[in-house]
Amino acid sequence: MTANRKKLKSDFSQSLLKWFDHHGRTSLPWQSALPWQQTRDPYHIWISEIMLQQTQVETVISYYQKFMARFPNIDSLANAEAEAVMTYWSGLGYYARARNLHRAAQQIRDQHDGQFPLSLDQVMALPGIGRSTASAILAFSQNARHPILDGNVKRVLTRYFAIAGYPGTKAVENQLWILAEQLTPNKRVADYTQAIMDFGATLCTRSGPDCSKCPINHKCLAFLQGNPTSYPTPKPKTPRLHRQSRMLLISNSNSEYLLIKRPPSGIWGGLWVFPELSNAEQDFQCWCKKELGIAVKSGKNMAIVHHGFTHFELEIQPIHCTVDRVSSGFMGGFMGGFMGGFIGGIMDTDRYLWYNPLANAPIAIPAAIKNIFNQLVK
């Protein structure tokens, strides 16, 4: 290790802890009122850490509160139906996180007697939990000394030490893990973990970092070089894909809309969406007769909805059409539900349901579908 690198490390942790004592976030819903050195419930911390992956704190708070009210402990989450879990995650995005939470809760129930494991290896063996998330859970709940390396920490460290190279590459990531390990103090580990997260989220931000208020700017190499926003090195650009979709908003005489449940994996896995045409040229009336066994009246194009995913942009053309008649073989047992009564605006089968957007019944639908429903009820 170079003498310059040693000097940079000398007061890094203590400076961040001093900053945290005055500016850190200590009243978030998943933070206990107990002193940091006391054990906190790892279940609460686990849920919050998964929700906070690629999602802002301000967005997470309301979802966290509703989720915890419905699933207050591991057993309640493990024993819940997947549909219920997805319903309370609906709108938060990155739905594999919810599926992994459910699977992990069942694994904890079955393999750990319902008690959240407290060794790093056991936590990392749970679905959807990597090294940094596992370390954060144990640091916050047990004050255990495990370094973290989320996006905020990567940004802080690459700037402070002026580390070039995209952090997603193995070589740079390994270098950052070594630094994270060396900088994590032996005492006040939970405070330090929260401090470096908060520091990156509120001061050393991706764009427009407030370097004038930074407690370590006198030793930050990126700041001294005059180019803090040059770090971290951005991910090499790849062309962003664009996809188009035509979705059918099929309504019946009760102002309900037909929804179809997605397969459990893939985009919007396990969520309820509008029927989607298989190709751009397909006649939607013929498709409805062939695939659903229903005749629909001519449709009306609604405003196009744009929805961004991690790797591509989706352009949805909603087509609003109404049911004209139903064939006798309409999805087998679905015929009775279509013609019969409804509970809370929803007629549910394994794969199809009629949904009234004004009924406010709980259902797992993605944000893009909610946006389309908002067009309908304006």
CATH number reported for the structural domain that contains residue 336 in this entry? 3.90.79.10
16: in domain: no
Whether 330 has a pLDDT exceeding 70, the answer reads no
- 185 lies in a domain? no
pLDDT value at residue 280: 65
Report yes or no on 309 lying in a domain.
yes
The number of distinct structural domains making up the chain is 1
If pLDDT is split at 50, 70 and 90, which confidence band does 304 have?
confident
Would 134 be classed as within a structural domain? no
Between 336 and 299, where is the model more confident?
Answer: 299
pLDDT computed for residue 335 by the predictor: 33
User: Tokens in use for 189?
Assistant: 């580990």
211, 228 Cβ separation under 8 angstroms: yes
Residue partners of 373: CB distance under 8 A and separation at least 6: 257, 357, 365
β-bridge pairing 257-261 and 272-273: antiparallel
pLDDT of residue 252: 87
Answer yes or no: are the C-beta atoms of 261 and 369 closer than 8 Å.
no
Instruction: Round to whole Å and give the CA distance between 76 and 44.
Output: 13
pLDDT for 197 equals 95
Tell me how crowded residue 289 is: count the other CB atoms within 10 A of its CB.
Answer: 14
Average pLDDT for residues 303-312, to the nearest whole number? Answer: 81
User: Confidence band (pLDDT; 50, 70, 90) for 336?
Assistant: very low
Structural domain contains residue 10: no
Query: What span, in angstroms and rounded, lies between the C-alpha atoms of 269 and 63?
Result: 19
pLDDT of residue 44: 94
Torsion of CA 269, 270, 274, 279, to 10 degrees: 40
Contact by Cβ (8 Å): 271, 88: no
In a domain, 308, yes or no: yes
Q: What is the pLDDT of residue 33?
A: 47
Least-confidence region, from 8-12, 49-53, 244-248, 256-260:
8-12
Mean pLDDT is lowest, of 95-99, 161-165, 243-247, 264-268, for 264-268
Kindly state whether residue 263 falls inside one of the protein's structural domains.
Answer: yes
Give the type of residue at 266: G
What is the value of pTM for the model shown? 0.77
- Mean pLDDT of all residues in 176-180: 96
- Do residues 118 and 137 touch, judged by C-beta distance below 8 A? no
Structural domain that includes position 302 = 242-377
Q: Which positions are catalytic?
A: 49
Q: Of 105 and 288, which is predicted with more confidence?
A: 105
d(CA 103, CA 125): 12
**Position 280 in a domain:** yes
Please give the angle made by the CA atoms of 152, 121 and 175, to the nearest 5 degrees: 40
How confident is the prediction for the chain on average, in pLDDT?
85
pLDDT at 99 over 80: yes
Classify each residue of 201-224 as buried b or exposed e, where b means 16 or more C-beta atoms within 10 Å of its C-beta: bebbeeeebebeebbbbebbbbbe
